[in-house]
């Protein structure tokens, strides 16, 4: 079999790239290790920058997002027991974010791909990539006991942090930058109305908390927990009690509790692999970088990589030039590092670190007080949160 682009991974990066290429008449196959239901069952990000919304529109999958997504023009920061609103729209000339779950984005992209009749091979085993340092790369995989081989022009590594693509690079071809944080987020999803119509990020001596949502009837809440925490030790009751201890008294008295429909612990990490391109292998999304979720940037960075990658490949097939493919890694990484910095900064300001003590807590509260009291500082947060501009 031969295709123009072989995409590894059917998460948001791979599916969105597949859709944009399909609309440009470029032939691509997607190989995914897991089943479609498994991919849809992963509860992850919830906040889309305008740039990500625009790209989903461009891919022709924006209809349900516009009908059901919640448009937010601000967030609240809670510290020292009080909430302060950051007027993101007011500070950025009217920009906002849209709350719409990654699960829904994935579902919309899967439906569009099925409607287009494009091929996704789910439960593709032992995917391996070869010859990406030549002009004729090859991808192999196994399905139902049969080995298949695909010849292609390019391989798009959209296979997430634990994927095979980055791992296949020669060790001396890639530099890794990493910071692992000494805590994780325990998150629950529950069919209860959100406590506030905007997100609340909480700094508290007991640890960070976040009140988020998926819709007007479905809430997503998180609390910071130590890395070795066991999910079995967190029955719903304990989660709700801990959340109420961290938010302000007004929120604590109005939070509606209910049975969780999902509960998981996610570790926090900052990671970047440089460069994001090696010959005819191009990495996108979590395959190339990870940010802690505090800045709500993971899914948005995946979309911005795909924006640059789809444009580079479309330009190549129209003009025959490799100029945009050559520029891909540099363009992505300049934007990636800004989001890595922002996510690290939000994480540092809002979480309890085991070794910084009461001094660290005072510094954080002072930084937050400065932030909410200074238009310059609030604007810096707001322009990063709604999403920094693209290069083209």
Positions annotated as catalytic residues are: 72, 201, 293, 297, 385
* Rounded-to-integer distance, Cα 150 and Cα 245, Å: 55
* Rounded-to-integer distance, Cα 208 and Cα 191, Å: 22
Are residues 202 and 210 in contact, defined by beta-carbon separation less than 8 angstroms? yes
**H helix intervals, 175-297:** 236-246, 249-254
Among 12, 137, 184, 194, binds ligand RFL (CB under 6 A): 12
**How many of the chain's residues bind ligand RFL (CB under 6 A)?**
33
* Rounded-to-integer distance, Cα 220 and Cα 214, Å: 7
If the CB atoms of residues 100 and 308 are measured against ligand PHB, the closer one turns out to be 100
Q: How far is the CB of 358 from ligand RFL (least distance, A)?
A: 29
Q: How far is the CB of 235 from ligand PHB (least distance, A)?
A: 21
Are residues 18 and 24 in contact, defined by beta-carbon separation less than 8 angstroms? no
Q: Among 96, 98, 119, which residue's Cα sits nearest to residue 56?
A: 98
Sign of CA dihedral 34, 40, 45, 50: positive
**How many of the chain's residues bind ligand PHB (CB under 6 A)?**
9
| Residue 47 near ligand PHB by CB under 6 A | yes
Sign of CA dihedral 82, 88, 90, 91: positive
If the CB atoms of residues 21 and 199 are measured against ligand PHB, the closer one turns out to be 199
Residue 108 vs residues 29, 45, 245, 303, 330: alpha-carbon distances, Å: 18, 15, 37, 15, 30
If the CB atoms of residues 37 and 392 are measured against ligand RFL, the closer one turns out to be 37
Q: How many residues belong to the chain? A: 392
Q: Which two tokens stand for residue 219?
A: 């809430």
Among 22, 166, 220, 307, binds ligand PHB (CB under 6 A): 220
Per-residue x/- mask for ligand RFL, residues 234 to 273, rule CB under 6 A? --------------------------------x-------
Q: Which two tokens stand for residue 104?
A: 């829904």
Beta strands in the chain (DSSP E): 5-8, 28-31, 47-48, 70-72, 75-79, 82-86, 97-99, 120-121, 125-130, 138-143, 146-151, 154-157, 175-190, 200-202, 209-213, 219-225, 260-274, 277-278, 281-283, 289-290
| Residue 121 near ligand RFL by CB under 6 A | no
Query: Which residues neighbour 198 within 8 Å (Cβ) at sequence distance 6 or greater?
Result: 72, 74, 75, 76, 85
31 binds, among ligand PHB, ligand RFL, none (CB under 5 to 8 A by kind): ligand RFL
Part of the chain binding ligand PHB (CB under 6 A), chosen from 15-23, 39-47, 258-266, 307-315: 39-47
Q: Which residue is nearest to ligand PHB (CB)?
A: 46
Part of the chain binding ligand RFL (CB under 6 A), chosen from 8-16, 192-200, 270-278, 372-380: 8-16
Part of the chain binding ligand RFL (CB under 6 A), chosen from 26-34, 48-56, 108-116, 317-325: 26-34
302: enclosing H helix or E strand: helix 298-319
* Rounded-to-integer distance, Cα 304 and Cα 301, Å: 5
11 binds, among ligand RFL, ligand PHB, none (CB under 5 to 8 A by kind): ligand RFL
Q: How far is the CB of 222 from ligand PHB (least distance, A)?
A: 7
Part of the chain binding ligand RFL (CB under 6 A), chosen from 27-35, 54-62, 176-184, 247-255: 27-35
Residue 214 vs residues 43, 85, 112: alpha-carbon distances, Å: 10, 20, 22
Part of the chain binding ligand RFL (CB under 6 A), chosen from 39-47, 66-74, 86-94, 362-370: 39-47
294 binds, among ligand PHB, ligand RFL, none (CB under 5 to 8 A by kind): ligand PHB
| Residue 194 near ligand PHB by CB under 6 A | no
Instruction: Tell me which residues in 276-315 interact with ligand PHB (CB under 6 A).
Output: 293-294, 296
Binding site for ligand RFL (CB under 6 A): 8-14, 31-34, 39, 44-45, 102, 124, 127, 158-164, 266, 285-286, 293, 296-299, 302
Binding site for ligand PHB (CB under 6 A): 45-47, 199, 212, 220, 293-294, 296
């Amino acid at each position: 079999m031969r295709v123009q682009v072989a995409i590894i991974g059917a998460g948001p990066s791979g599916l969105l790239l597949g859709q944009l290429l399909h609309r440009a008449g470029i032939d691509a196959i997607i190989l995914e290790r897991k089943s479609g239901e498994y991919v849809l069952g992963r509860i992850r990000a919830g906040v889309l920058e305008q740039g990500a919304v625009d790209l989903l529109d461009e891919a022709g999958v924006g209809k349900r997002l516009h009908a059901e997504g919640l448009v937010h023009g601000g967030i609240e920061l809670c510290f020292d027991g009080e909430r302060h609103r950051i007027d993101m729209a007011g500070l950025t000339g009217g920009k906002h974010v849209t709350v719409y779950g990654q699960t829904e984005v994935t579902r919309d992209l899967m439906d569009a791909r099925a409607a287009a009749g494009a091929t996704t091979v789910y439960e593709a085993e032992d995917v391996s990539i070869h010859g990406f340092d030549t002009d004729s790369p090859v991808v192999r995989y196994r399905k139902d006991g049969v080995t298949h081989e695909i010849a292609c022009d390019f391989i798009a590594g959209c296979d997430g942090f634990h994927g095979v693509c980055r791992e296949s690079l020669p060790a001396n071809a890639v530099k890794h930058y990493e910071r692992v944080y000494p805590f994780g987020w325990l998150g629950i999803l529950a069919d209860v109305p959100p406590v506030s119509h905007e997100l609340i990020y909480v700094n508290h001596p007991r640890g960070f908390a976040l009140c988020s949502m998926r819709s007007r009837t479905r809430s997503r809440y998180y609390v910071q927990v130590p890395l070795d925490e066991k999910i079995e030790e967190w029955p719903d009751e304990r989660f709700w009690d801990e959340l109420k201890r961290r938010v302000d008294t007004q929120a604590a008295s109005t939070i509606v509790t209910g049975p969780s429909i999902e509960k998981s612990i996610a570790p926090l990490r900052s990671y970047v692999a440089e460069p994001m391109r090696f010959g005819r292998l191009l990495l996108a999304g979590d395959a190339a970088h990870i940010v802690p979720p505090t800045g709500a940037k993971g899914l948005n960075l995946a979309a911005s990589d795909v924006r640059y990658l789809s444009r580079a490949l479309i330009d190549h097939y129209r003009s025959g030039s490799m100029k945009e493919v050559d520029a891909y890694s540099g363009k992505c990484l300049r934007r990636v590092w800004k989001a890595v910095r922002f996510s690290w900064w939000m994480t540092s300001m809002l979480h309890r670190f085991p070794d910084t003590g009461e001094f660290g807590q005072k510094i954080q509260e002072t930084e937050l007080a400065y932030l909410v009291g200074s238009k310059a500082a609030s604007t810096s947060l707001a322009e990063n949160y709604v999403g920094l501009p693209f290069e083209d």
